[in-house]
Structure 1
């Protein structure tokens, strides 16, 4: 099991086949999927496919989303991290996307922000990328707030499958400036 990053409260590690129960709790919740197309999963078989897909990204792209584990309880909280996107989104292709998704009972505790900072540190300090991007449904106040808090700047608004989304970016120098004030 590879650990990519640790924070005061969190371990960010590779997603494992044994994460099925926590992953199912996360992705079967309609409230979690409110701004993700309203398509919560219905079965654990779907979760097995998702986990296999992410694990294949580790092999194909050297990176993929990470499990967020609570250091105090060892519980699966959700996922966060980077994804190397190989299909075109908003006229971008082959870019690093910052994302996070938490089990609802962990919302509002600063966990997504903490995981996002750790993900950006990994992107700029370990992978040495030049830019990281992110997107959020325009109505998803929580996610938009987190992205701004960790230093991403809204570049534009675009249409994703008929839903307006904000497109965000951060470059290495902006990250380094924000890191000093973090």
Structure 2
């Protein structure tokens, strides 16, 4: 596969990813409805991010053709939230795991200390991707997810990329009045 930046020429492919209900079921935003929305989404979530000196927002493309089929993103706030999405016809092929491993290696080289990732408990397959990437479960918490306005229980996973292997990102824990550790994991 190829990891690269999205370009303006990729807006139709971005729309194919972000408009699919199945792909976006467990994401906080509603699926995109029009190409105009996809253009705006590209401008605010990709073009602006690419203007910063450091950023991790990649299009996942197959080597056979340089057309985006998914994405891997890492936020640069204190959560270093690791997120991904893939068109459903490419699910269950190890593509996100392979892309994620490449991004994690770049993060290590760049000195990013850790990454976190969360998944809705109703979406355990996303948690399996996190585990395959070497992330470990830390805790669960509830959040009223916006703009969908639905109560979600999340599982938070973390991978420390530096020598501080005992570090646990606490913000989600402290911001939620309902949080717990599942012992059976």
TM-score normalised by L of structure 1? 0.79
Q: Is 1:69 paired with 2:61? A: yes
Q: Is 1:21 paired with 2:12? A: yes
1:110: how far off?
0.5
Alignment of 1:23-42 (within 5 A): 23-37=14-28, 39-42=30-33
1:121: how far off?
0.7
- Name which of 65, 82, 87 aligns with 1:98: 82
- Name which of 103, 111, 119 aligns with 1:119: 103
The alignment covers a number of residue pairs equal to: 157
Q: Is 1:129 paired with 2:112? A: yes
Deviations 1:79-101 (A, max 9, x none): 1132223xxxxxxxx23121110
1:55: how far off?
2.1
Runs of 4+ deviating beyond 2 Å: 58-61
- Name which of 32, 48, 51 aligns with 1:59: 51
1:60: how far off?
3.7
- Name which of 100, 103, 107 aligns with 2:91: 107
Q: Matches of 1:18 and 1:134 in 2, distance apart?
A: 29
TM-score normalised by L of structure 2? 0.78
User: Is 2:115–2:160's contact at 8 Å kept on the other side of the alignment?
Assistant: yes
User: Is 1:64–1:82's contact at 8 Å kept on the other side of the alignment?
Assistant: yes
1:173: how far off?
4.7
Structure whose CA Rg is larger:
2
